[in-house]
Structure 1
Amino acid sequence: MDIDLLKKKAAAHGDVTHEEIARRAGIDRSAVTRVFAGTVPTLANTTALAWAYDIKLDELVPRARDKVEVPA
C-alpha cells in the first residue's frame, strides 16, 4: 500500500491522526495503525480508505513488481 499517498490525501482533508483517518474511512483505528506499521490490510479496509480519500485502488495498491526488488 502506498502509505505516502494515503498520508498526503488524508492531510489534504485535514486528517492527520489514525483516529481521524479511521473515522473518515469508517474502519477501526487499530486497522489504520496496522496499515501504517506495514501490515497488509483487508480488501474491505483498503477499499474503505480508497473511497474515503478518493484514491483509485490501483494507485493506493501498486503492483508488487513496482514496489519490490526481485533478486536476480
Structure 2
Amino acid sequence: MLRLDTELLKEKANAKGDTTHDQIARRAGIDRSVVTRVFMGNIPTLVNVTAIAWAYEISLDDLVPKVEAKVGVPA
C-alpha cells in the first residue's frame, strides 16, 4: 500500500516553523485541501508529492517509503 510518511513530513515542517496544514500548503505552493487529504491517508498527485518533497528537502524515497506487501495478507 502506498502512503506518504506523514510523521517525517510533520517533523520537517515543524523544523521550519510550519505547524498547520495551511502553512505546509503555502510553503509547498499547493492547496491546503491536498495537505489535509495527505494527513488523512490519501496519496496526492506526483506533482503535489514533489512540491512537498522539495519544500521540505525530503527525498521522494523517504517521503514515499517502499512498503513490502505480505503475500496473502490484504494491505
- Same fold judged by TM-score > 0.5? yes
Q: Which 4+ runs in 1 deviate beyond 6 A?
A: none
In the alignment, structure 1 segments of 5+ residues that lack a partner are none
Aligned CA-pair RMSD: 0.9
Say which structure, 1 or 2, has more relative contact order (CA 8 Å, 6+ apart).
Answer: 2
TM-score, with normalisation over the residues of structure 2? 0.87
Offset of 1:41 from its aligned partner?
1.0
Structure with greater proportional helix content: 1
Pick one of 44, 62, 66 that aligns with 1:59. 62
Could you tell me how far 1:64 is from its partner in structure 2? 2.5
Unaligned runs of 5+ in 2: none
Aligned length: 68
- TM-score, structure 1 as length reference: 0.90
* 1:19 paired to 2:22: yes
- Partner residue in 2 for 1:35: 38
- Deviations along 1:22-49, one digit per CA (max 9) or x if unpaired, are 0000000000000000001110110000
